[in-house]
Structure 1
Amino acid sequence: MSENSASFKIRLKNNAAEVEACLAGILTDTAQPDEIARPEPLLAAMRHGVLNGGKRLRPFLVMESAALLGGDAQAALRIGAALECVHSYSLVHDDLPAMDDDDLRRGQPTVHIAHGEANAILAGDSLLTLAFDIIAAPETGLQDRQKTELVLALARASGIGGMAGGQALDLAAEGLALDETGITTLQAMKTGALIRFACEAGAIIAGSSDADRRLMRQYGEKIGLAFQLADDLLDLTADAETMGKATGKDAARGKGTLVALHGKDWTEAQLARLVQEAATLLEPFGERADVLNEAARFVANRRS
């Protein structure tokens, strides 16, 4: 392992611990102003869904993109926590019997297995709502215009034209032979949109120029595609113990992936190309972009 790679993994782990602590501090049993009460069974299901480890890659990208562009670190942490709430809600709902019907997530029972389907649905609903609460709350030290831009960008990335729409396309695609355009559109929505938001959010937090915001958005699109390609490759080659969830399910359900369409060698070549394209985008920042360059390599080469 190179020195840069080892340093990156330490940074990723430390940032994940910060995000976990932030979320734990938000998800206490103390009702906030204008809340009436926080029911314990629902709170327990929410905590199970979001305080369960994981790499916290999306918050990491928010925090590091903001750091690159001079954004406030504490605000970036809270926006990262908000994004993790959206991501976690999507996993809670994706695991439900009506969708992917999974019993295992990050090596633990899924929320509906541990807390029941009704609480899992409500936990997902509440985590999604909480994300926008975190952005708007006075504790998030940003200007109102920045908060509005973040709310709009996250809503567009997570709703009908983004992640939720991508999941709908994914469910409809089972057993269908999607072409490359169909697969790419589905994956850009279901997986790529939140990763794109994570990188663009850093620019919003920093109050960056439109040009830098577009650049970070493009970087996010590159690594979002790389993330999904790597995920599909792992679904084909990794085991459930390594992944902490069931594998081989795409092929079993007849889901089209670019890996299935083009093969392992093509996929690995595409991953290398995307890493290089991401690095080219970040060239104007010089060595200051080392962490995000390493993030692109990590996404493409991950093993779980």
Structure 2
Amino acid sequence: MDARSFALMFCVGLALGCDGESVESPEPAQASQPAASAQLEAPSKSASGALDVDVDGAGAGVDAPVSAGSPEPAAASDTAEGPRPRATRGGQLRFADESIEDPAMAPVLLARLGDTSEPSQTRAALAAALPRTGGEWADALVELLAQEEDAAVRAAMVSSLRRAPSEAALRGLALGLDDRDAGVRYEAAMTAAGVPGASELPLRERLGDQDARTRAAAARSLGVLGVGEAFDEIAALVEDEDKYVRLEALQALGRLDAERAREVAARMVEDEDSTVARAALRLRDAP
């Protein structure tokens, strides 16, 4: 190679090498990029255990749409439970919150009372709390009573009627006295003593009730209400096998006709139960 050719090749090399620096070869491309799903962080769990899923893959934290069959989350006002009952020393539930002493709370408590998803004890406490609202509740309570399946709730409803207006109370008590459950009949018979006009109810029929507590309560209420026409029927109960029935019958007779009651009491001073015997002695010797 002559000198001219060598010089030409040297100049071309300088041009290609950019002033003599070596040209680095590019790094080989990676075989493949990681899958998009591998780049996303694993979905986190919320406090309730549900997954917070970023469904669009962009990391924006968009909530997954609710499917057609899934219930939408309830609004805060829909899930507010309102006042809750507290247990008494006797184990019964009672609404002690003063916030229920507001007429506007009557429809609120009635709505909860009609909600059968509430526990039975809570619903019974709701029925007992209704009179404290001072609102309009009695007529609606009687309607609920006619439909109620839970006997404990029915008994609480009937007991509340002692503080209801007479017309509604009498309608409810008539249902209670004819109830299939002995506990409800007992509450109706007891409550009747404090309701004006209850002497017109079929209390005398309950003197023959198969439940001893109901017989005793019916005798007591008839005496308090002054139903003198029931004297002979009540007098028959002094021979009842249940001591509480005998005691209530004796006391009812004393309220209805003290003179005639002394004659009955004279036969009971030897009663096998000491409480009944003492009551009979007091009535016999009363001035």
Shorter-normalised TM-score: what interval? under 0.3
Say which structure, 1 or 2, has more relative contact order (CA 8 Å, 6+ apart): 1
TM-score by length of 2: 0.26
Larger radius of gyration: 2
TM-score by length of 1: 0.25
